[in-house]
Amino acid sequence: MESQPFVPKAPGDLLKIGVVSARSNISVKTIRFYCDEGLLLPVSRTDSRYRLFDESVFDDLSLILRLRAMDLPLDLVKQVIQAQRSGICTCSDLKTTMREKLSEIHERLDELKVLETEIKTMLKSWEPCGGA
C-alpha cells in the first residue's frame, strides 16, 4: 500500500494562496494583485503573513473573471465586487456605466451580425468555384 504524501493544511481549513492558484488556474501574482486592489479579501494571515482564504474566494474569482471578460475597467470591477459583497447597489454611476456597457455590447452584436451576413454572402458567391 502506497503512502500519501503529507500535505499540511492551513489553520481552520483555510487555503494558502498557492492552493487557490492551483485550483483556480490563476497565477499567484494575479491573486496578489487582486488582493492589493481590494478585489479579493483574505480572511486571515498566518504569523508569516501568508494570505489565507476560505472557499468563497473561488466565487469571488469567478465574478472578477466574468467582469474582466466584459472589458470592464478595474475600478468598475471593484465597485461591482463591493456592491455584491454588501448586497445592495446604491451607486447610480455604477448602474449607468453598466447600462452603457450593455449598450456597447448590443452595438457590437449588431456589427457582428452585419459581418456574418457579409461572410455568408461572400461564401455563397464562391459556390460556383467548387472546393470545400
Rounded average pLDDT over 107-132: 91
pLDDT above 50 for 125: yes
pLDDT above 60 for 86: yes
Q: Note the pLDDT of residue 90.
A: 67
Each residue's pLDDT tens digit, 25-49: 999 999 999 999 999 999 999 899 9
Q: Note the pLDDT of residue 72.
A: 86
Q: Which grid coordinates are listed for 53? A: 482564504
Domain 9-88 has CATH 3.50.50.60: no
- Return the domain boundaries, the chain: 9-88, 91-132
Residues 82-119, buried b or exposed e (16+ Cβ, 10 A)? eeeeeeeeeeeeeeebbeeeeeeeeeeeeeeeeeeeee
Query: What's the pTM value of the predicted model, to 2 decimals?
Result: 0.69
84 vs 19 pLDDT, higher one: 19
Q: Note the pLDDT of residue 132.
A: 66
User: What rounded mean pLDDT belongs to the chain?
Assistant: 86
- Amino acid in the structure at residue 53: F
CA distance 63 to 116: 30
